[in-house]
Amino acid sequence: MRRFIITGAPGAGKTAIIRQLELQFHDRSVVCTAALGSYLGYPFSTFLASELERVKKEAIYQNRVFLIRNLGFITPTEARRISFEETVRFEKIHEETYRDFGFELVSIEPGSLVERVSIIKAAIG
C-alpha cells in the first residue's frame, strides 16, 4: 500500500486537502512529532528515535512528502493558538526535519483547494 504524508504548519489547509483525495494520506507522521520536539526544544526520547529509525528502515511511507505551505494568515481556534509568525517558524522546522530524514519534499504553494488537490494528484499520478 502506498502511504503518503501531508505536512505543514497549523492552518495551512492540510485537512481540507486530505478530504478531497481518494488515496491513503496521513495528516502528519512521526517525523512531524520530531519536528514538534525540535520546535519546542525537547530532545528525542528513546522511543521516538527508535520509531524514526523503523519508519526509515522499513520505508513505511512514500519518500515524497507534500509540504502544504501556509496561506499567509492563521485563523485562531480553541485548538489552534499559535501566531502566524510561529507557524512560519514551525513550517521551516518541518521542512528541515523531513529533509534531514531523507524525504523528498513537494512544496504545495497557496492556492484554491481545487488547485492544491490537483497538484498533488498530478504528482502521484
Measuring CA to CA, which residue among 58, 31, 57 is closest to residue 44?
Answer: 31
Helical H runs in 80-112?
A: 84-100
- The dihedral sign for the CA sequence 123, 12, 29, 36: positive
Mean per-residue pLDDT pooled into runs of 10, the chain (125 residues): 90 92 85 96 97 94 95 92 93 96 96 96 91
β-partners of residue 17 are none
Global pTM?
A: 0.85
pLDDT the model gives residue 62: 93
Q: Where are the domains of the chain?
A: 4-124
All 3 cell numbers of residue 43? 530532545
Give the strand pairing for 104-108 and 25-27. Answer: unpaired
